[in-house]
Amino acid sequence: MVESYRFDSFCVLEKKDDKKYFAILSLFFDEKIERNLIQKGSKGEVWKVRHDGVCYALKINRPTNKIIGRKVKALLKGSYFSSLILRVDKARAEGCFSMCDVYLVAEKKHFRFARESFVLMEWIDGPLLSDSEELRNKYKNEVGDLLKNLHQHGISSGDVHPGNFIVSNAGLKIIDLSGRGASAIDQAKDFIGLKNKFGVEADVDSWAVSLVLLRSKLRAFLKKAKVS
């Protein structure tokens, strides 16, 4: 179950269990928690934080480009990460544990557009499939099965590549997810990624695949025309 509330300037969605996840985020802000920067880019950061002997992944997202387009999407569909925590909570309640859990989403919003998002997630130890070709080949078919399982529970990856899959003690897991659902188009994107990154073919509606490929070609053409 996910609880929704406001705290100061934050719109918060928090998994309701015996832990206080926003308190962990507050400790991060005050630099009173063990933390290590894992990744930093133009749009944000990923931290590994440790509290009461438990490790978490903290993803910070600050949109920097295509702001107008993102605002329009946010007005129509709501927050990307808010959708993600709700979809993951529902999928896990239905018995799907192929993904890392999402415990907290705290966002500073302008109307429905998130100017800054803090996402506290389950930290999963293990090697990534991007660590070696041997791992990619060993688990490539299992990646396809995992994606199908996600789709059955209304979730898509949105970015299928070896760096987003990890071999945990409990088996293969996906550690980065899309906040979108699992429409025919979303599924087609995942299975095209599966073919491009792992060389695995999957059955999917041909019209959806054709449409996604056509859109990709059109975007590439427009980008090339703009540059020239």
Where are the chain's structural domains? 2-122, 129-222
Cβ partners under 8 Å of residue 61, min gap 6: 43, 44, 81, 114, 116, 117, 119
Return mean pLDDT, the chain.
Answer: 88
Q: What is the 8-class DSSP label of residue 139?
A: H
Most confident among 24-33, 59-68, 107-116, 190-199 (mean pLDDT): 24-33
Q: pLDDT per residue over 138-196, tens digit each?
A: 999 999 999 999 999 999 998 999 999 999 999 999 998 877 788 888 888 899 899 99
pLDDT at 66 over 60: no
pLDDT at 76 over 80: no
pLDDT at 125: 96
**Residue 58: CB partners within 8 Å, gap ≥ 6?**
25, 28, 35, 46, 47, 48, 49, 118, 119, 120, 121
**Residue 179 in tokens:** 């906040």
pLDDT value of position 75: 53
Q: Does residue 199 have a pLDDT over 80?
A: yes
For 85-131, what is each residue's pLDDT tens digit? Answer: 999 999 999 999 999 999 999 999 877 778 899 999 999 999 999 99
Least confident stretch, 4-13, 179-188, 200-209: 200-209
Residues 6+ apart with CB under 8 A from 157: 147, 150, 164, 174, 176, 177, 178, 190, 193
| pLDDT number for residue 114 | 81
Quote the percentage of the chain above a pLDDT of 90. 65
Homologous superfamily (CATH) for 2-122? Phosphorylase Kinase; domain 1 (3.30.200.20)
Q: CATH for 129-222?
A: 1.10.510
- Distance, in Å, from the CA atom of 47 to the CA atom of 57, rounded to the nearest integer, reads 6
Alpha carbon distance 77, 72 (integer Å) = 9
